[in-house]
Structure 1
Amino acid sequence: MRKALVLSLLTVVLGGCASVPAHRDISGVWINQAAIDAAANGGNLREALLAYGPNLEWDIDAKNATANYTNGFERVEGKLLPEDDGGWQVSFYGSGSTGLSLEGETLIQAETDAEPRQPFVRSQVNVASDAPLGTSFEAALNSAYMGGQWRVVSGAGQGNPVTFSADGQVKGLPNTQRYVLCLAGDCASMSGEYDSLWLQQGETGAAHIFVRDGRRLEIFQALDASAPDDMPQFYPGKREWVLEKLL
């Protein structure tokens, strides 16, 4: 009888343990691949980011109970706590919270009153360990949206082959060594309805407006319509280049 009672109690205990979902480790960097895939179709960049954003990258450390994300212009830090259903709750310092869970190999950010449901995948991009939050997303986006072989169809360097690297380097575009795509924040506010990017040579650089239509990329000077003391409001000026994507 005593043996049967012990076995019965053991069954209850084990059954209770089995009913509590195990928490899989979600530590690591997760990126918004849906936004990248939408942008890779070769249309308006910011429309793709807005449609599948707003958040672009999570950096999670379950051991230290931290979960930070970026939406392209700010870094938001949160405290990661496990929930009874196997998911996680992220509480943000000073404002609100959101839920995270795994669906297969996809990290799901739960819908809230302020933000939609968003899926994220583990980043496969190699970046420096001290790289700022968002670097992995930017590198993956650069590869998908700007990668491949381009050719200058019109403008300085006509006929040149041009490559845009994932790390922001440019080869073949005259007087340009680096580029940065505008994702959100002040640069987006300043360019309004237009996509913009920053082109730089050495220590000198400037904002440019661009229009992407499939394999065609037009780059314009950015002219400022604002008053002297106001935030710049850019609009397209002279067209500087037309590029065609070959591969």
Structure 2
Amino acid sequence: MRNALALSLLAVLLGGCASHENLDPNGVWINQNAIDAAAKGGNLRQALLANGPNLEWQVNTKAAQATFSNGFELGEGKITPKEGGQLSVDFYGNFTETLSVKGDQLVQAANENGPAQSFVKPQATPNPQVPPGGVFEQALYTAYMGGDWKVIEGPNLGSIVHFLPDGRIEGVDSLDRYALCLAGDCAAMSGEFDSLWLEKNKQGNAFIFRRDGSRLEILEAVNQAGADEMPDLHPGARRWLLQK
């Protein structure tokens, strides 16, 4: 009985040690909820909008700086510590965000600018050469575009295509890089439609794409706007159909 009681107490103590929160806010934090929603294989921008607006935070308390990315713009603010381990991030008087660490998550508090959001550390150690926003982007590209894609319609029919996390494409002769539209001007131009940029030797064009589970349809982007208006891109003829 005494041995059993001692073991029970030890388990409680060890469990208590294991449950201690990691309160260090420093480093890169990504919006895993947005990635998980996108990885289901549906509309990309709907997944990002439903779990945004911010996609990544980089926190450096030693330098008193924090940077967020929303897929289009970067915001850099000055950190001021608050009671209870919270961090107030002031963006040069324009607005303020409040961050705190709860367990293994960085929590951005809700305010008049947007809802509460949570972020986690990326599984792999970030490459210090990757610019702000790039860690989320690479994780998203891996989850949403990773794997083997077979061309079942279009140029390079039958080829296996790889969309790599760093934006490179392998398997299509006429392409060497891609970029998914996450937010900003490209999103405004394509409206309700998902879009991406495809290029070869730094020359390329925007395309509309539709993702339905394991099928990826890439279509010409037809501009329906006038010459003096912002481009208004709509789906045109299908260029490729790929099957995962």
- Normalising by structure 1, report the TM-score: 0.87
Q: Which residue of 2 aligns with 1:4?
A: none
Q: Secondary structure at the match of 1:156?
A: coil
Q: Which residue of 2 aligns with 1:209?
A: 208
Paired residue type of 1:209:
I
Give the deviation of 1:126 after TM superposition: 4.9
Q: Which residue of 2 aligns with 1:103?
A: 102
Size of the aligned set, in residue pairs, is 224
Q: 1: CA distance between counterparts of 2:22 and 2:88? A: 12
Is structure 2 residue 136 aligned with structure 1 residue 137? yes
Q: Which residue of 1 aligns with 2:3?
A: none
Q: 1: CA distance between counterparts of 2:23 and 2:181? A: 35
Is structure 2 residue 148 aligned with structure 1 residue 149? yes
Q: Secondary structure at the match of 1:85?
A: helix
Residue deviations 1:3-60 (CA, integer Å, cap 9, x gap): xxxxxxxxxxxxxxxxxxx993211111101000000000000000000000001111
For the aligned residues, what is the CA RMSD? 1.4
Q: Which residue of 1 aligns with 2:162?
A: 163
Q: Secondary structure at the match of 2:83?
A: coil
Q: Which has the larger radius of gyration?
A: 1
Aligned residues: percent identity? Answer: 51
Q: 1: CA distance between counterparts of 2:97 and 2:179? A: 30
Q: Which residue of 2 aligns with 1:36?
A: 35
Q: Which residue of 2 aligns with 1:18?
A: none
Give the deviation of 1:192 after TM superposition: 0.6
Paired residue type of 1:212:
R
Q: 2: CA distance between counterparts of 1:36 and 1:24? A: 24
Give the deviation of 1:132 after TM superposition: 2.0
Q: 2: CA distance between counterparts of 1:87 and 1:223? A: 48
Q: Which residue of 1 aligns with 2:24?
A: 25
Give the deviation of 1:198 after TM superposition: 0.3
Q: 1: CA distance between counterparts of 2:236 and 2:125? A: 37
Give the deviation of 1:94 after TM superposition: 2.7
Q: 1: CA distance between counterparts of 2:113 and 2:24? A: 27
Query: 1:79, 1:90 within 8 Å by CA — same for their partners in 2?
Result: yes
Q: Which residue of 1 aligns with 2:178?
A: 179
Q: Secondary structure at the match of 2:174?
A: coil
- Normalising by structure 2, report the TM-score: 0.88
Q: Which residue of 2 aligns with 1:123?
A: 122
Query: 1:66, 1:79 within 8 Å by CA — same for their partners in 2?
Result: yes
Residue deviations 1:160-184 (CA, integer Å, cap 9, x gap): 1111100011111230100000000
Q: Which residue of 1 aligns with 2:6?
A: none
Label 1:139 to 1:23 Cα distance change in 2 as closer, same or farther (>3 A): closer
Q: Secondary structure at the match of 2:228?
A: coil
Give the deviation of 1:131 after TM superposition: 2.8
Q: Give the alignment of 1:26-105 within 5 angstroms.
A: 26-105=25-104
Is there any run of 5+ residues in structure 1 with no aligned partner, and where?
A: 1-21
Query: 1:89, 1:99 within 8 Å by CA — same for their partners in 2?
Result: yes
Give the deviation of 1:128 after TM superposition: 4.2
Query: 1:125, 1:136 within 8 Å by CA — same for their partners in 2?
Result: no
Give the deviation of 1:236 after TM superposition: 0.8
Q: Secondary structure at the match of 2:48?
A: helix
Is there any run of 5+ residues in structure 2 with no aligned partner, and where?
A: 1-20
Paired residue type of 2:96:
S
Q: 2: CA distance between counterparts of 1:169 and 1:209? A: 18
Give the deviation of 1:114 after TM superposition: 1.6
